[in-house]
Copies of this chain bind each other. A is one copy, B any other.
């Protein structure tokens, strides 16, 4: 393995390159970003060694790290043009539509469907960090459909990045992510909107943000260019999660209206369990 091409030089693509360069200094990184400023920054920051729209023929791995709604087009385009020794990996937050789109492609075995559970509320190559992926979970979907030799190259990379592998069905992945990740972003954005709509004095928001608001609203800083496409790609699962969330909020509201504070306390006590789950790794 000697050459990696990255399409999409933002937070994830950039962090991937920075970490892999540290682990494997001999690798050559080429890359492309549709945003010329991002591409220039990625060169300056040493994320890539050379900017080029198309990967060289001797590229071992093409890494797709662009917004979710662009991945199907890019994946089909590169599958159609690559030689038999090249592997394509994607970092998309949704997996089901993508896997279906290439299910019958003659080069399906040259694709590995991945999703690193890592990120921050910031975006672009300047937000990239060499330790972003370190010790994080990397979900692989339909791993049995990827060629075993090419897959070896992917495992080599993921081991160098110190990531923890999990295997999952693509539809199961999207359903889970709608609840555990995508819904959190919607709840956070709408919390931000509700407060901005109502409170005119920004100083007041800032002064009071210590009381839990800062952490619940953190994801509302996230990039719309990344998140609107995720809403599109995972539409049905997100609608299901959002409807259940709204229903739970409405029931909570009904209990306040009914002055059923014992019922609320009992509900909250059960939900406290989430703390034990989040602490599983400690």
Chain A residues with CB under 8 Å of chain B are 93, 117-119, 121, 136-137, 139, 166, 176-177, 179-181, 183-199, 202-222, 224-225, 227-229, 231-232, 235, 238-239, 241-246, 248-250, 252-253, 256-257, 259, 261-262, 264-275, 277-278, 280-281
Contacts and interface: CB of A to CB of B under 8 A. Distances in A.
A273 B198 contact: no
Number of copies: 2
Given A207-B137, A232-B261, A271 B212 contact: no
Contact of A269 (B224, B264, B280): B224
Contacts of A248: 190, 193-194, 197
A225 B261 CA distance: 10
Contacts of A217: 184, 274, 278
B261 A253 contact: no
A162 B265 CA distance: 34
Contacts of A208: 117, 137, 139, 176-177, 180-181
B195 A274 contact: yes
A205 B259 CA distance: 32
A161 B199 CA distance: 29
A268 B189 contact: yes
A219 B220 contact: no
A176 B202 CA distance: 11
Contacts of A267: 189, 193
9 A-B pairs with least C-beta separation: A181-B211, A221-B275, A224-B268, A228-B265, A192-B274, A224-B265, A184-B216, A180-B208, A206-B280
A167 to B, nearest CB: 11
Given A207-B117, A208-B176, A209-B180, A246 B244 contact: no
A212 B194 contact: no
14 contacts: A136-B210, A166-B207, A180-B205, A180-B211, A181-B213, A184-B191, A187-B216, A189-B268, A191-B245, A196-B274, A209-B278, A215-B215, A224-B266, A231-B264
Given A198-B244, A212-B184, A256 B238 contact: yes
A185 to B, nearest CB: 6
B241 A198 contact: yes
Nearest to A266: B224
A181 B216 CA distance: 10
Contacts of A221: 272, 274-275, 278
